[in-house]
Amino acid sequence: MDNAYKLIAIGLYFAAMLAIGFYAARKNTDLDDYMLAGRRLPPSVAALSAGASDMSGWLLLGLPGAVYAFGLVEAWIAIGLTVGAWLNWKFVAPRLRAYTEVARNSITIPSFLENRFRDRTRMLRIVAGLIILVYFTFYVSSGMVSGGKFFESSFGSSYLAGMLLVAGITIVYTLFGGFLGASLTDVAQGLLMLAALVAVPTVAIVNMGGWGEMVDSVRAADAALGEGANRLSIVANATWVGVISALAWGLGYFGQPHIIVRFMALRSAKDAVVGRRIGVAWMAICAFGAIMTALVGIAHVQANPGMTLDDPETVFLVLAQIMFHPFVAGLVLAAVLAAVMSTISSQLIVCSSALVEDLYKLTGRTASPRAGLWLGRGGVVLVSIVAILLALDPESSVLALVAFAWAGFGASFGPVILLSLFWKRFTAWGALAALVVGAVVVFWWGNMPDEAWGGAFALYEIVPGFALALIAGGAVSLATYRQDPEIDAEFDEAVAVSRGAERTLETASA
């Protein structure tokens, strides 16, 4: 009977997501609507959508699992991400919103780069599109792995059945709803995630008798592990490589296409301020809730002899089912699906845009608005099939898959986006060099054994990838820069638009 209540709650969640997707489908008339919602996204929607699509199953599975296993030392990741998100909204969002419209109304990151540099070779657009497809396929696969683990842990179903169900529902509402559907479902999913990450640790702490009792249980659990275990300390057992690697997750924000595309969809550059306040507040509360969930999980297992947790990444799922009535637990568990599905849908849209807008159109073929819409949907299906095949392995780690894809985008697109927006002398060849160097270094570094070169490869691959891409982009640009009055004038116009938006907000605040 308990499972019946949970399945009813999750069924209602699925129905709501499908309804939103079909509602959004009625608003899509052409490829521009399908890929960017006509640049009509309010800041609140953009902020919650960016946050929900960013965090994925990592927030409710990966992060609590890491803190449960290794302690607060893993919280450095959350700190790095929160700071990185604030910087992204503060500096990149207004400039990117202005520049993408000024640069021939670019609706994808690869098309923006081509238009920004007047790249007639098309190589920049092709390479950027291919990098998006490769790394996002891994990222989408991580979400599907999360879905499989969810149903396996919560209902005892097979991993494959759960993974295919989550993938199928997400594909359907994304297929028809497009970018608007993904964004509106993200809002509902983001609010559900927020409520769950506040409710689970709060109720659990109260049930244990308060904060003091919870802390005492965690300390007792650490004592049972042996000398040196201290999961309540953010510095215990920390190494400089580990801390730098964790904080470096924040670098990834500047180059995540599924996040920064939300900036492009804002109504205007000035909306970035409201978006930043909402988005960063949402992230800080959710990250804190995920960390508290892990600590409460440690305490609960310690306080209940005989209880074990085979997979640390399921700690949130286990606590939700223990603490709440089955129907309420079902709604809380739906938050995990919300985290997973919001990310999958956003990434599928970006992959589809890379296939259709950035690669298919380079063949010189043209399509009617309706045909373009169906080409976009075809792209969603194609990427989904490949991601499902990768997700067939139930042993895949959510955090490992996300870390690899996050580093790939952060190191390749991050330096390119920053230099494109803030350095007038940046060139197409410099951008191409940065993209290739960042992607290749991450792929190579991430697949090397940690102990190679005296343990140097234990450093998170985004650090060397980002640094070398930045150096390559700068060096090649200095060697290939040739003044172009048209490009310079466009750069100045984008700067003026973004600064004008800032002055308007300052005046309004005063």
Q: Which amino acid is at 283?
A: M
Reported pTM: 0.86
**CA–CA gap between residue 179 and residue 353 (Å, rounded):** 10
**CA–CA gap between residue 316 and residue 318 (Å, rounded):** 6
Burial 394-422 (b: 16+ CB within 10 A, else e): eebbbbebbbbbbbbbbbbbbbbbbbbbe
The CATH T-level fold of domain 2-25+36-509 is Sodium/glucose cotransporter (1.20.1730)
* pLDDT value for 297: 93
Q: Which amino acid is at 292?
A: M
pLDDT in tens, the chain (510 residues): 678 888 898 899 889 888 988 888 887 776 667 777 778 889 999 999 888 877 766 788 778 988 998 889 889 989 999 999 999 999 999 999 999 999 988 888 888 999 999 998 888 988 888 888 887 777 788 778 878 877 887 788 888 888 899 888 888 888 777 888 888 888 888 898 899 899 999 999 999 889 999 999 999 988 888 777 888 889 887 888 888 988 999 999 999 988 898 899 898 888 999 999 999 999 999 999 999 999 999 999 888 887 878 788 888 888 888 888 888 888 888 887 887 788 888 888 888 777 776 666 666 666 566 666 677 777 778 888 888 887 887 766 555 667 778 898 899 999 999 999 999 999 999 999 999 999 999 989 887 876 666 566 778 899 999 999 999 999 999 999 999 999 999 999 999 988 876 665 555 554
Residue with tokens 């940046």: 426
Q: Which two tokens stand for residue 317?
A: 């799922």
Domain ranges of the chain: 2-25+36-509
User: Quick count: other Cβ atoms within 10 Å of Cβ 505?
Assistant: 17
Q: Which two tokens stand for residue 231?
A: 């999961």
* pLDDT value for 510: 46
Residue with tokens 């009509």: 40
Cα dihedral across residues 230, 150, 408, 98: positive or negative:
negative
User: Quick count: other Cβ atoms within 10 Å of Cβ 182?
Assistant: 31
* pLDDT value for 501: 63
Is the CB of residue 305 less than 8 Å from the CB of residue 213? no
Nearest in space to 420 (alpha carbons), one of 135, 115, 136 = 115
Is the CB of residue 107 less than 8 Å from the CB of residue 35? yes
Nearest in space to 218 (alpha carbons), one of 232, 200, 204 = 232
Spatial neighbors of 86 by CB under 8 A, at least 6 apart, are: 276, 280
Q: Which two tokens stand for residue 504?
A: 């308007």
Residue with tokens 């799922």: 317
Cα–Cα distances (Å) from 282 to 85, 200, 267, 346, in that order, read 11, 16, 21, 18
